[in-house]
Amino acid sequence: MDIILNLLPHIINGLALGLLFALIALGFMLIVGVMELINLAHGSLFALGAYIAMTLIDPNIAGWGSFGVWYMELSLTLRYVIGLALAPAFVAIVGMGLEICMRRTYGKKAEYGLLLTFGAALVIEESIRIIWGSSEQFLPVPEMVSGAFIAGGMIYSNYRFFAAGFGIFMIALVWLFLEKTPYGSIIKAGAHDSEMVRALGVNLTVLRLMVFGLGASLSAVAGVILTPIWGLRPHVGVDVVIPAFLIIVLGGIGSFWGAVVAGILVGLVVGIFGAYASEWSLMSMYILLIIVITFRTRGLFGKKSALEN
Amino acid sequence: MNNALAKPTPIITKPMIALFVMLGTFPLWGEAVGLYHYLGVEIVIWIIYALGFNLLLGYTGLPSFGHGAYFGVGAYAYGLVQLGLIESVWAGVLVAVIAGAVAAGIVACFLSHRRGIYYALMTIAFGQVFWFIAMKWHTVTGGEDGLLNIYRGTLSFGVFDVSLRDNVPLFYFVFAVLIIVVICLWRLVHSPFGKALQAIRMNEMRAGFVGYNVWLIKWTVFMLSGAIAGLAGGLFAITQESAYPDVMGLHASGYIVMLTLIGGGFVSFWGPVIGAIVFFVARDLLGSITETWLLWYGLMFMAVILFKPEGIAGIWQDLSKKLSRNQKQNAPVVSQHVKAGE
């Protein structure tokens, strides 16, 4: 009993972390599911979203004239909402641009897409360095969700719970979109058999463009929500893309609930591991992956995928 | 890579001699064209590393995105031997090779059943595990700073000694290692084993049907590639006089993939050599103009993947093919444009 009580805070933290991991993996899952493309630029789009949101929330208003003055008089909460809404839209455009470049690699080996997005990740990261500089920055959050509270002798940050709640909200939203709308049906059908979908008269080119844009904007949402916790630096993308990749494979490529369950599982493992050896906590997820993949090639809920060849 | 089977491959070829002459005389002309000796050492080490890596990527078609791990293991092994056991360069380099081979051999046990993207993912996961160990196991690896104060030492040949303190003798030492590696690898890829590697790249399942033990071949090639990476890492530790976790990270592992591909590792044995030279010269030339040279290098890499996945060696082959076609004007056009990269 004592052990459980001692572990409880770590389990709660782990659960919250797991929801955040699941949030990161959502956009990645969408792209890998429909396009069978490992998007290594996911993390850089995440960082780009966060940087754009930071600029929208706390802009350098010199030279903006009366509009700048008016804008800065808006409350922080309102500006935060504007950032959270507009940054993903910008990133979606960048993602669509990337998808247009990507078209030449369709039909070739999956590694080409992976390599191209690796190059894109490098380019986006360096562009961030040019525009915003290399030093660590700070993304402001509204007062409503900042601060901390104490429960059972442990300090919990409000923002973490807000972020976890937002994670649940986004997961529900994406699930509703995929399951309850005609667009979701088309996307899922495209993931299942793209040739048949094309034969039914769906414009596959546009579908892929939209899915990539949507996936990119989801990674940007995750970036805006998460960087207040993890800090905002140009190479934050690398810290993000690998867990996202790992969660998708752990859950099984093409499985929505697989990604969510794997995200929470990874969060829990990292949280509980952190209770005993905090230095090594992030390594536990790789060990988890190696163990699972050694025994279950396709992950926890995976089905056969073209990426295996 | 598409040499006819019937003709026995010579052990020494013209491009090989050209490379050896060019690199062997580097200390004489390098500084005249604005480069420096240390750059030569670095390039030679990375050529060794990239040649070993291409055994995996170009010949067997197995993408490893965590190869920095074995490079790093070699560097740490060299450093630990030097600082803790004996101050012998030979022993250090030997242990570095063995350490790289053992680490890669263990990992390959988990990898060799996997294919395609799952293979790539597992290499990333293992690469991260090694990186984490290097970062966090302070008592052995020195954490984020790494192992410092590794002496360059002296090469003992029994009758005479050579100090590696200056860059020129060090250059000739790594150059001698390169000659051995190039000749061995050239021989290896033109042996039946090398053909089996290419068969696996073309179609793993068919290679299995023909009777090759695909698992064992994939295991062996990964282990060999890791051993060469370990060798390069050991040499790197001598050069840098330290071993640190940076070379094991995802970025460093990505660079080796990028430079091998840009050079044209898919279509030519010499692709990684070209790639390593281009990478380092680009780093120095672009780096002296702009701080964000990686942006331009990344864009170049994207362009190569999009328009010419065969890389610089592929462009070269196309040009020489066009040239020979122009020479025999009325001869029928060669139709067998073998696509090797896919």
- The answer, for B62 touching chain A at a CB cutoff of 8 Å, is no
- The answer, for B302 touching chain A at a CB cutoff of 8 Å, is yes
Q: Are the Cβ atoms of B117 and A116 closer than 8 angstroms?
A: no
> Is residue B333, in this structure, part of any structural domain at all?
no
Interface test with B, best of A108, A117, A123 (most B CBs within 10 A): A123
* Lowest pLDDT segment from A181-185, B58-62, B83-87, B180-184: B83-87
Q: What is the mean pLDDT of residues A97-115?
A: 82
> Is residue B118, in this structure, part of any structural domain at all?
yes
ipTM here: 0.80
Which range marks the domain in which residue B32 is found? 14-248
Whole-model pTM? 0.83
Domains identified in chain B, total number: 1
Q: How far is B212 from chain A (nearest CA, A)?
A: 19
- The answer, for A308 touching chain B at a CB cutoff of 8 Å, is yes
Nearest CA to B280 among B23, B15, B69?
B23
Domain residue spans of chain A: 2-308
- The answer, for B339 touching chain A at a CB cutoff of 8 Å, is no
pLDDT at A63 (0 to 100): 62
- The answer, for A307 touching chain B at a CB cutoff of 8 Å, is yes
- The answer, for A97 touching chain B at a CB cutoff of 8 Å, is no
Q: What residues of chain A lie within 8 A of the CB of B309, using their CB? A: 108, 112
Among B residues 257-296, those touching chain A with beta carbons less than 8 Å apart: 257-258, 261, 292, 294-295
Range with top average pLDDT, A58-67, A104-113, B240-249 = B240-249
> Is residue B25, in this structure, part of any structural domain at all?
yes
3 state SS of A147: coil
Point out the residue among A105, A286, A309 whose CB comes nearest to the CB of B115: A309
Q: SS3 for chain A, per residue?
A: CHHHHHHHHHHHHHHHHHHHHHHHHHHHHHHHHHHCCCCCCHHHHHHHHHHHHHHHHCCCCCCCHHHHHHHHHCCHHHHHHHHHHHHHHHHHHHHHHHHHHHHHHCCCCHHHHHHHHHHHHHHHHHHHHHHHCCCCECCCCCHHHCCEEEECCEEEEHHHHHHHHHHHHHHHHHHHHHHHCHHHHHHHHHHHCHHHHHHCCCCHHHHHHHHHHHHHHHHHHHHHHHHHHHCECCCHHHHHHHHHHHHHHHHCCCCHHHHHHHHHHHHHHHHHHHHHCHHHHHHHHHHHHHHHHHHCCCCCCCCCCHHHC
Helix ranges (H only) for B241-342 are: 250-263, 271-289, 293-307, 311-327
The pLDDT tens digits of the residues spanning B19-42 come to 888 888 877 787 777 778 888 888
Among B residues 136-195, those touching chain A with beta carbons less than 8 Å apart: 136
> Is residue B296, in this structure, part of any structural domain at all?
no
Confidence of residue B216 (pLDDT cuts 50, 70, 90): very high
Q: Are the Cβ atoms of A119 and B136 closer than 8 angstroms?
A: no
pLDDT at B333 (0 to 100): 45
Other beta carbons less than 10 A from residue B121's beta carbon = 25
The pLDDT tens digits of the residues spanning A232-256 come to 888 888 778 888 888 888 888 778 8
pLDDT at B76 (0 to 100): 92
Extended strands (E) in B142-282: 154-156, 161-163
Q: Are the Cβ atoms of B117 and A110 closer than 8 angstroms?
A: yes
% of residues, chain B, pLDDT over 90: 20
| CATH class name, domain A2-308 | mainly alpha
The pLDDT tens digits of the residues spanning B314-336 come to 888 888 888 888 776 554 444 44
Q: Which residue of B has its CA nearest to A244?
A: B121
- The answer, for A179 touching chain B at a CB cutoff of 8 Å, is no
Point out the residue among B128, B257, B306 whose CB comes nearest to the CB of A104: B306
Contact at 8 Å (CB) between B282 and B160?
no
Point out the residue among B110, B125, B309 whose CB comes nearest to the CB of A112: B309
The pLDDT tens digits of the residues spanning B142-179 come to 777 778 877 777 777 777 777 777 888 888 888 999 99
Q: How far is B309 from chain A (nearest CA, A)?
A: 8
